[in-house]
Amino acid sequence: MSAFFAPETPVIVQGMTGRVGRAHTANMRAYGTNVVGGVSPNGTELDGLPIFRDCAAAVAATGAIASVLVVPPLSLLQAIEEALDGGIRFLVSVAEGMPVHDALKALAAVRAAGARWIGPSTPGMAIPGRVKLGFLPSVSLAPGSLGLMSKSGTLSYEVGYRLVQRGLGQSLWVGVGGDSVKGTRFADMVPVFEADPGTSAMVVIGEIGGSEEEELAEALLRYGARKPVYALIAGQTAREGVTMGHAGALVSGDTGTVATKTAALVGAGARVFTRIQDLVDAVAAAEKR
């Protein structure tokens, strides 16, 4: 999966000296991620890593091209703009609650810079056994051939864990996040997984609300995807007009429902499930054949 992200890529952490930033940095380093420094107005060194006042200084000193942003949601737009101005081209932002208008501005800046942004409201991404950006639980990760992408952190942890218990790991795991405006969507990952010889199938953890699963179906047809796709659509019992945890998980009228998403994905050749165990059983049976 080095075409998506090279495991040896030097990474900085914006907000590394905060309590959460310190914890995530330690976790990523323990997993093998090449964290080379941090950005914070406080301090000059932490656990042997240099701390810089801004991204430009961090990039100049370390050669970093990726950043994990552990900053409050109202500061996220400014942090993304600073990262891009400093030369960062791969961003993972974990904070929930980024204002929509800020996310729209950030998305425009990311696209103008030719960068990739995973987030907001994401647990991160991983190439299992090699690199992790964010806080995906290691117990749910294992090297394998499944390309996993998810809106929901918690649901994906459970799916990943159950598949690992069945001897099935992942080639790449990307948490796209549950917000309506985000840097990377399901459809963006289709050409990545289709082109990767180490990926045998795609596992998609979706949910009610928005049109992302329908966009995924369109992308599967557009790219002529040939690899099997297994999709979970959560939220079957959600009521119309009620946000279910994620900002984007909102059913309105006849859009964003389990039925509309299922119809689109089935029409594109995917197998769709509403229960985790049914999806895990189907993937395990097919992969072991």
pLDDT at 3: 86
Q: 227 and 170, same structural domain?
A: yes
Task: Give the model confidence (pLDDT) of 106-142 as tens digits.
Answer: 999 999 999 999 999 999 999 999 999 999 999 999 9
Task: Give 205-224 pLDDT, tens digit per residue.
Answer: 999 888 999 999 999 999 99
Nearest to 39 by CA among 7, 62, 23: 62
Instruction: State the DSSP code for 252.
Output: B
In 221-232, which positions are buried (b, 16+ CB within 10 angstroms) versus exposed (e)? eeeebebbbbbb
* Positions marked active-site: 246
The C-alpha atoms of residue 269 and residue 225 are separated, in whole angstroms, by 9
Token duo for residue 253:
């009228």
Query: What is the per-residue pLDDT for 237?
Result: 47
User: Which amino acid is residue 137, in one-letter code?
Assistant: P
**Which residues span the domain enclosing 247?**
137-288
CA distances from 165 to 96, 159, 275, 280 (A): 30, 10, 17, 10
Residue 41, preceding bond cis, omega within 30 degrees?
A: no
**What total of structural domains would you count in the chain?**
2
The verdict on 142 and 283 lying in the same domain is yes
What is the amino acid identity at position 269?
G
**Alpha-carbon span 267 to 223, nearest angstrom:** 14
Please indicate, yes or no, whether residues 157 and 273 belong to a single structural domain of this protein. yes
CB distance 101 to 134 below 8 Å: no
The first and second tokens of residue 43, run together, are 């301090």
- State whether 76 and 184 are in the same domain: no
- The answer to whether residues 106 and 143 belong to one domain is no
Residue 101: which CATH number? 3.40.50.720
Q: Are residues 58 and 150 in the same domain?
A: no
Residue 243: predicted pLDDT? 54
Its pTM surpasses 0.75: yes
Asked if 26 contacts 47 with a C-beta cutoff of 8 angstroms, the reply is yes
Helix orientation angle between 212-222 and 186-195, rounded to the nearest 10 degrees:
30
Q: Which of 72, 87, 118 is the last residue of a domain?
A: 118
Please name the residue that has the structure tokens 């994906």.
Answer: 156
Same domain for 188 and 98: no
Bridge-based pairing of strands 201-207 and 229-234 is parallel
Strands (E), 80-223: 90-93, 116-118, 124-127, 131-134, 143-150, 170-175, 201-207
Q: Are residue 239 and residue 166 in the same domain, yes or no?
A: yes
pLDDT value of position 257: 86
Q: Where are the strands (E) in 56-179, listed by range? A: 66-69, 90-93, 116-118, 124-127, 131-134, 143-150, 170-175
- Taking 70 as the pLDDT cut, the residues of the chain under it are 235-255
18: left (phi over 0), alpha (psi -120 to 50) or beta: beta
